[in-house]
Amino acid sequence: MPRRALTICTTPGCPEYTNGGRCTDCQAKAEARRGTSTQRGYGAQHRTAFRAAVIARDPHCVCTEASHDHGAPCGAPSRHADHHPRDRRELVAAGEDPNDPRHGRGLCGRCHSRETARHQPGGWAAGQP
């Protein structure tokens, strides 16, 4: 079976070769910068006050984005509580409670991934020191 060609790590300035994406060292550094979900503000308060309430209110995906190639709304089972229309950082900066279920919507995994990729290209850590 043919092997995949090695490529240079996708981290700017890193000369290491990898099988695609980041090298092991750069991946570990990126994960350390990102922190745990609790360190990013998604602790017990988020799971109980926000996520559980949003999923209970929206048991089916409420996404109506036409580019996602589904009906309006999507209707698949909700698996994620997505901050919408403002993200968690914007709510905190405005002095609002990001764990208030009014600031969320239930999305299926596919729609949540697409929305995250569209609104956070490169992830939360992109552009961070």
For residue range 87-120, list pLDDT tens digits in order.
Answer: 888 998 999 998 899 999 999 999 998 888 887 7
Helix ranges restricted to H, the chain: 24-34, 44-45, 52-57, 88-93, 109-119
- Total-model pTM: 0.63
Burial class (CB in 10 A: 0-12, 13-18, 19+), 98: buried
Q: Which residues contact 118 (CB under 8 A, 6 or more apart)?
A: none
CA torsion sign, 123 to 112 to 82 to 73? positive
- Quick: pLDDT tens for 31-79: 777 677 677 667 777 777 888 999 999 999 999 988 888 878 899 999 9
- pLDDT confidence tier of residue 18, bands split at 50, 70 and 90: confident
Domain boundaries, the chain: 1-34, 44-119
- Side chain identity at residue 21, one-letter code: G
Mean pLDDT of the region 9-26 = 85
